[in-house]
Structure 1
Amino acid sequence: MNTETTNTERSTQIMHTEKQIEFDKIKNIWKNLAITDYAKECIQNTEICLDEVELRNRLRDTTNSKEMIEKLGTPPFQNITEIRDIMAIGQKGDCLTPYQLERVERVLVVVERLRDYLSRGKQFYNSLAYYDENLDALPELREEINMKIRNDGVDDRATDRLFDIRSKMISVEESMKQKAEQTIRNNKECMADTYYTLRNGRVCVPVKKDYRYKIQGSVIDKSSTGSTYFVEPAGVAKQYEELALLKIEEENEVYNILYTLTAMVIYAIPVMEENMRMIEKLDFIFSKGKLSVDLDCVEPQINLERKIELTKARHPLMDKSISVPLDFKIGETERGIVITGPNTGGKTVAIKTVMLNAYMAQCGLHVSCKAANISMNSNYLCDIGDGQNISENLSTYSAHIKNVLEILKEVNKDSFVIMDELGSGTDPAEGMGIATAILEELRKSNANFLVTTHYPEVKEYADKTEGIINARMTFDKETLKPTYRMVIGEAGESCAFYIADRLGMPKEMLENAVTAAYGKGAISNYKFKNDNLKKKEVKNVIIKKRKYHKDTKLSTLYTIGDSVMVFPDKKIGIVCEPVNEKGVLRVQVADKKIYINHKRVKLLVKSEELYPEDYDFSIVFDSVENRKIKHDLDRKYTDEVYHYDIEK
């Protein structure tokens, strides 16, 4: 694998992580706070910093810029991409236009204002303030352009000679107009109108067709009907020639001024380049301060001890008024946390909040916490969402596993990993096994990791395994709403029974559900309020929890006729074939028979408690046709063949 391919894969992985933890949205907000194209590009390309000294410098810059913004307001910046193009034109030897020179002058004004802004920051002993020494407003060039260029043109008083030329031009033009007006007054009967006009840049008088030869001068134009001729009087023509010569002199003088100013700009290019470099750098730095102010963030502490501790952390994209602060700690005695709790309880938001804040800190940004102490990580790896890829025809589970395998390939002791709904998307028993295996690999890597899950077996694994601890998202049993608070050190419980209780499920049904899920002894752990609701009459059935010993043979686990519950759909069925040597039994559910692993089946009622001794189970499992054939076989010879209906 070549270096280019490796870099491409790394970039793809980084983009994937940033999108899943929503750092791409943070970048979009951040970019809108920058002014220059360079700063916006730097923001887009920002990655985590792996050098401790460099990271601390970046965080210090963010803190200093935030401090100056809070005390002095927003600094003056301007997008300077156009100025680079203008300087490139000058370096080619082309003359800059008045518009381009004005753009240069405006940038120098920004430089001067930025110097003043930074200088005022010195009173707070802010280190960013000393960048003013790297800015040169070039006052002579700025003053020269300001004096000679006005309103996208060369000012009349740019030089004495230009002022004299333009004054003469005004005088000649005025004289031409007066001569035209005098011609009109002296020949009113010959005129089609009482006003002179301009035709092709020449001063003309409107003469009626019939009087054309009474007015001395040249015909410049005529009306569309041909009834009016526009004549330039003879005296005006002589002055027009004088005006043309003056315009040539003016043009030469203007070019002389523009070339002189262009030469001054070219001479100042090295200083201008340094100014622009500093503007772009400061724009990037101050954009981080603006982001910190807008998101109400604080500077995090950085450690190399693999510890992450967040106090009152929140997701920066969530409304602060409704976001519930999160207290979080990892890395002191444990490397992994398994988070459980009800759906919509905030598990995904919690792990995103932790990683996003850690990621922002390692990019040199402040974090949305009251306080934070964050370790440097070599990489950030995550698996959130279904990740389904239609173009590659991957199922949800396949996409998860593919992503998880990539994570396990990249993970090391300095990594930070988050995984949401670990082991979901497949058979619960097998998914639980996969989840446990993944956790074990993460534990072996010694990386810091956060995972969410619903599997009780995974909770038990975390409880018994060194280096891993349980956590839960709390749930208000009174209001049936999540509180979005994390409690580290405790495993979450399912709230399905409480929700069913509040929605009106009878107590007997709830107790049966608890018994089926956890055994009769677990009923005492639940306090249901729905005791007084009217219940339907149901047959009293004693449900016994069967205890198995390690030496119990699979074939004796279930017998034909046993009533069982099939998971994960929780459908009730009747055993029609006992467990074979592979641990598979056959159960009739509704109108079909299915093969299923014994681990996905729970005993509800033994057959001897449901059916009398020597009960004919063909009544339950056989079709009417088969039963009739069997009956005939028992009493007489018949050509019919008895079939055991395999499909059903």
Structure 2
Amino acid sequence: MVQTDKVLEFDKIKEKWIELALTEWAKEKIKDTVPSMSENELIARQRETSEARELLEKSGNPPLVSLSGIRECIQTAVKGDCLSISQLEDIEKSLVAVMRLKNYLSRCKQWEISLAYYNENLDCLDNLKETISMQIRNGRIDDSASKDLKSFRDEIERNERCMREKVDAVIRANKESLSDNFSTLRNGHICIPVKKEYKYKIKGNVIDKSSTGGTLFIEPSSVGKYYETLQLLRTHEENEEYRILYSLSAMVADYEEILEQNISMIEKLDFIFSKGKLSLEYDGAEPKINTERYIRIEDGRHPLMVPSECVPLQFEIGKSFDGVVITGPNTGGKTVTIKTVALNCMMAQCGLHVACKKAEICMNSNFLCDIGDGQNISENLSTFSAHIVNVNEILKKVNRDSLVVMDELGSGTDPTEGMGIAIAILEELQKSGGLFLVTTHYPEVKQYADKKARIENAKMTFDKESLKPLYQLVIGEAVESCAFYIAGKMGMPEEMLKTAMKAAYGKEEISENLKQVVSKNHLEKRRVSGIQKRKRRNKAAQKALEFQLGDSVLVYPDKKIGIICKTANEKGVLRVQMADKKIWVNRKRIKLHVAAEKLYPDDYDFSIIFDSVKNRKLRHQMDRGKIIKEQITIDD
């Protein structure tokens, strides 16, 4: 069974919808959205979408955030683990987002829209937010987070200042002993660079040395006494920082339930507002929902098409008829029409607005589709076979609450048999009591629909003058055949059309309107370029081509040995270098003695054998650019 979402392109609607959501929860909910089967739930979904759109139009976009990773932070705190500074900052940012969203919804209450009252389900947790903001600032724990932390940091700063002062004093007193006049930090110790030969002049510990060994990095004794004090102070500072982080993490854990409630509410609002944003994207409208098996669409559009390029669709089904058979020319909009109806119905039942000016949509138990080329290569099914497999699945599932759309009914096989199958399918669909829209080219199917109760013909209009479809659906009329008219307008002669008419209807008569169109038509034969055959070589010349430059051959009747110096011409005559001269000889008078490939390497220069010394020198000079042009004599 084909996937209805893809056939109707609802998957593409979901892709656009997902882009408008911020939270991962909302994105997943959109992916999993299916038509609702509860009337109360569907009416509530539609009301949410309408209210979200109204708030967006009146108050702008709400300050929603993605909340990525916040739940993980809360669960870490609940387990008793310590949250990092960045995680606590994320918690604070989420509470700021809650505060802004709550304020946004509070302002929206002036419009008396029920969605605005969701603000009462949000708790800003001012105590937690302010505590985090006071104790953590700019990516670090603030000095004022506790008295002990401030005391430790003040003491660390005092000791570091004293260390720098002592180091500076040692540098000033021992400039001639130092490699540079500045201190450096090595392995956590403040050191001065002392020349190796003066290492005993300065009291202290050697911490490191340069790569050459000529400089020693010494921590002066007057400075070293501060090192252990600083290490102890930093340990106290670190412990106090962890105590503060654990305290804040415990506060987060205490507010777990409220934080989770805030997250759930933001996710829900994100989902609701994404529906409103989507409605604004294609200028949708809230449909009226019914369970009376009635659909009416006024100025309908396909939501994925540019509105300015759409011809508004007027459609109705379910009151006086349950089935519509649509006919019309290829590329006339039949497929787009049935997709537009089914897609808007599916969107409505998922709580989305429809791309219409007004619409009344009935709830459907399922949406059953057979649209497009159903060829299944993996199962080795032809287009017609796959079509029939799909049709059988549809007929098994269809009931009175189904909406069925089928394109090109009975196509892909012998026309007579295909027409019979199309009518049989319509019979079965009508027995089910469901609503159905089908397209066809068969005139017999149009005639069947004319005679059958509760089935109505419809046509896609066509401009006979411009030969362009108008993309307008007219219910209650079947389109007349335009094939002969189009063929005539495109230049087919009258005699050919008469032959076609006789083959189709058993008579050669054509209408007066068509005669006027084709009266000047005739087939003008045009000159076409002829085929140029390649010249064939005689057998002697063909065999002569078997000899290659450099081949050693026997020249009859004297059986003297020579070398091929010029390959055969079209007459099969070759040039052979004998011991004292070059001769022309017919291929019939020579026989291969030793092939060139056995006598010479692949890149051998045959001019050494066949060319004069003078000519070879001239060619060499020309190659090097020393002479522009010179007459080279060739000894023929």
Length-normalised TM-score, structure 2: 0.81
Deviation, structure 1 residue 434: 0.3
Task: Provide the residue aligned with 2:120 in structure 1.
Answer: 133
Task: Provide the residue aligned with 1:69 in structure 2.
Answer: 56
Structure 1 residues 234 and 446, CA gap change in structure 2 (3 angstroms): same
CA–CA distance in structure 2, aligned partners of residues 486 and 521 of structure 1: 32
Deviation, structure 1 residue 521: 8.3
Matched, 1:443 2:449: no
CA–CA distance in structure 2, aligned partners of residues 270 and 31 of structure 1: 28
CA–CA distance in structure 2, aligned partners of residues 160 and 525 of structure 1: 105
Task: Provide the residue aligned with 2:86 in structure 1.
Answer: 99
Matched, 1:204 2:196: no
Task: Provide the residue aligned with 2:35 in structure 1.
Answer: 48
Task: Provide the residue aligned with 2:501 in structure 1.
Answer: 514
Instruction: Supply the AA of the counterpart residue of 1:79.
Output: S
CA–CA distance in structure 1, aligned partners of residues 63 and 130 of structure 2: 20
Judge conservation of contact 1:507–1:530 (CA < 8 Å) in 2: no
Task: Provide the residue aligned with 1:383 in structure 2.
Answer: 370
Q: Deviations over 1:132-187 (max 9, x none)?
A: 00000100000000010112221122122212211221121122122112211110
CA–CA distance in structure 1, aligned partners of residues 515 and 199 of structure 2: 114
Judge conservation of contact 2:498–2:509 (CA < 8 Å) in 1: no
Deviation, structure 1 residue 528: 4.6
Task: Provide the residue aligned with 1:423 in structure 2.
Answer: 410
Task: Provide the residue aligned with 2:26 in structure 1.
Answer: 39
Matched, 1:175 2:168: no
Task: Provide the residue aligned with 2:340 in structure 1.
Answer: 353
Task: Provide the residue aligned with 2:242 in structure 1.
Answer: 255
CA–CA distance in structure 2, aligned partners of residues 236 and 404 of structure 1: 91
Matched, 1:60 2:47: yes
CA–CA distance in structure 1, aligned partners of residues 499 and 447 of structure 2: 24
Judge conservation of contact 2:491–2:522 (CA < 8 Å) in 1: no
Judge conservation of contact 2:491–2:518 (CA < 8 Å) in 1: no
Instruction: Supply the AA of the counterpart residue of 2:494.
Output: K
User: What is the DSSP-based 3-state SS (H/G/I as helix, E as strand, rest coil) of the residue aligned with 2:199?
Assistant: helix
Q: After the TM superposition, which residues 55-454 of structure 1 pair with which residues of structure 2 at under 5 Å, given as runs?
A: 55-454=42-441
Instruction: Supply the AA of the counterpart residue of 2:281.
Output: D
How many corresponding residue pairs? 524
Pairwise CA RMSD: 1.5
CA–CA distance in structure 2, aligned partners of residues 495 and 76 of structure 1: 57
Deviation, structure 1 residue 236: 1.0
User: What is the DSSP-based 3-state SS (H/G/I as helix, E as strand, rest coil) of the residue aligned with 1:80?
Assistant: coil
Deviation, structure 1 residue 200: 1.1
Judge conservation of contact 2:297–2:313 (CA < 8 Å) in 1: yes
Instruction: Supply the AA of the counterpart residue of 2:471.
Output: Y
CA–CA distance in structure 2, aligned partners of residues 372 and 40 of structure 1: 27
Judge conservation of contact 1:302–1:374 (CA < 8 Å) in 2: yes
Deviation, structure 1 residue 517: 2.2
Deviation, structure 1 residue 526: 4.3
Greater mean alpha carbon deviation, residues 152-161 or residues 140-149: 152-161
Deviation, structure 1 residue 97: 1.1
Judge conservation of contact 2:498–2:510 (CA < 8 Å) in 1: yes
Matched, 1:490 2:477: yes
CA–CA distance in structure 2, aligned partners of residues 216 and 314 of structure 1: 90
Instruction: Supply the AA of the counterpart residue of 2:126.
Output: P
CA–CA distance in structure 1, aligned partners of residues 435 and 509 of structure 2: 34
Structure 1 residues 190 and 532, CA gap change in structure 2 (3 angstroms): same
Structure 1 residues 503 and 30, CA gap change in structure 2 (3 angstroms): same
Q: Which runs of 5+ in 1 are unaligned?
A: 1-12, 538-648
Greater mean alpha carbon deviation, residues 471-480 or residues 457-466: 471-480
Instruction: Supply the AA of the counterpart residue of 1:224.
Output: S
Deviation, structure 1 residue 121: 1.1
Judge conservation of contact 1:498–1:528 (CA < 8 Å) in 2: no
Instruction: Supply the AA of the counterpart residue of 1:77.
Output: L
Q: Which runs of 5+ in 2 are unaligned?
A: 525-636
CA–CA distance in structure 1, aligned partners of residues 490 and 387 of structure 2: 34
Instruction: Supply the AA of the counterpart residue of 1:399.
Output: A
Structure 1 residues 529 and 194, CA gap change in structure 2 (3 angstroms): farther
Task: Provide the residue aligned with 1:21 in structure 2.
Answer: 8
Instruction: Supply the AA of the counterpart residue of 1:220.
Output: I
CA–CA distance in structure 1, aligned partners of residues 466 and 346 of structure 2: 35
Judge conservation of contact 1:339–1:470 (CA < 8 Å) in 2: yes
Task: Provide the residue aligned with 1:499 in structure 2.
Answer: 486
Deviation, structure 1 residue 518: 3.1
Instruction: Supply the AA of the counterpart residue of 1:189.
Output: E
Judge conservation of contact 2:99–2:124 (CA < 8 Å) in 1: yes
Judge conservation of contact 1:515–1:523 (CA < 8 Å) in 2: no
Judge conservation of contact 1:502–1:529 (CA < 8 Å) in 2: no
Q: Deviations over 1:520-560 (max 9, x none)?
A: 486237435434526479xxxxxxxxxxxxxxxxxxxxxxx
Instruction: Supply the AA of the counterpart residue of 2:196.
Output: K
Structure 1 residues 369 and 170, CA gap change in structure 2 (3 angstroms): same
User: What is the DSSP-based 3-state SS (H/G/I as helix, E as strand, rest coil) of the residue aligned with 1:451?
Assistant: strand
Deviation, structure 1 residue 495: 2.3
Deviation, structure 1 residue 512: 3.8
Deviation, structure 1 residue 431: 0.4
Instruction: Supply the AA of the counterpart residue of 1:305.
Output: E
Judge conservation of contact 1:58–1:364 (CA < 8 Å) in 2: yes
Deviation, structure 1 residue 454: 0.5
Greater mean alpha carbon deviation, residues 84-93 or residues 53-62: 84-93
Task: Provide the residue aligned with 1:573 in structure 2.
Answer: none
Judge conservation of contact 1:36–1:79 (CA < 8 Å) in 2: yes
Judge conservation of contact 2:488–2:518 (CA < 8 Å) in 1: no
CA–CA distance in structure 1, aligned partners of residues 58 and 15 of structure 2: 26
Structure 1 residues 403 and 289, CA gap change in structure 2 (3 angstroms): same
Task: Provide the residue aligned with 1:457 in structure 2.
Answer: 444
Q: Deviations over 1:251-288 (max 9, x none)?
A: 12111111111111110001001111111111111110
Structure 1 residues 525 and 479, CA gap change in structure 2 (3 angstroms): same
User: What is the DSSP-based 3-state SS (H/G/I as helix, E as strand, rest coil) of the residue aligned with 1:213?
Assistant: coil
Structure 1 residues 310 and 521, CA gap change in structure 2 (3 angstroms): farther
Deviation, structure 1 residue 422: 0.5
CA–CA distance in structure 2, aligned partners of residues 465 and 431 of structure 1: 19
User: What is the DSSP-based 3-state SS (H/G/I as helix, E as strand, rest coil) of the residue aligned with 2:297?
Assistant: strand
CA–CA distance in structure 2, aligned partners of residues 399 and 409 of structure 1: 16
CA–CA distance in structure 1, aligned partners of residues 515 and 243 of structure 2: 95
User: What is the DSSP-based 3-state SS (H/G/I as helix, E as strand, rest coil) of the residue aligned with 2:26?
Assistant: helix
Length-normalised TM-score, structure 1: 0.79
Instruction: Supply the AA of the counterpart residue of 1:293.
Output: L
Deviation, structure 1 residue 105: 0.5
CA–CA distance in structure 2, aligned partners of residues 264 and 522 of structure 1: 93
Instruction: Supply the AA of the counterpart residue of 2:181.
Output: T
Q: After the TM superposition, which residues 512-551 of structure 1 pair with which residues of structure 2 at under 5 Å, given as runs?
A: 512-520=499-507, 523-524=510-511, 526-533=513-520, 535=522
Greater mean alpha carbon deviation, residues 142-151 or residues 489-498: 489-498
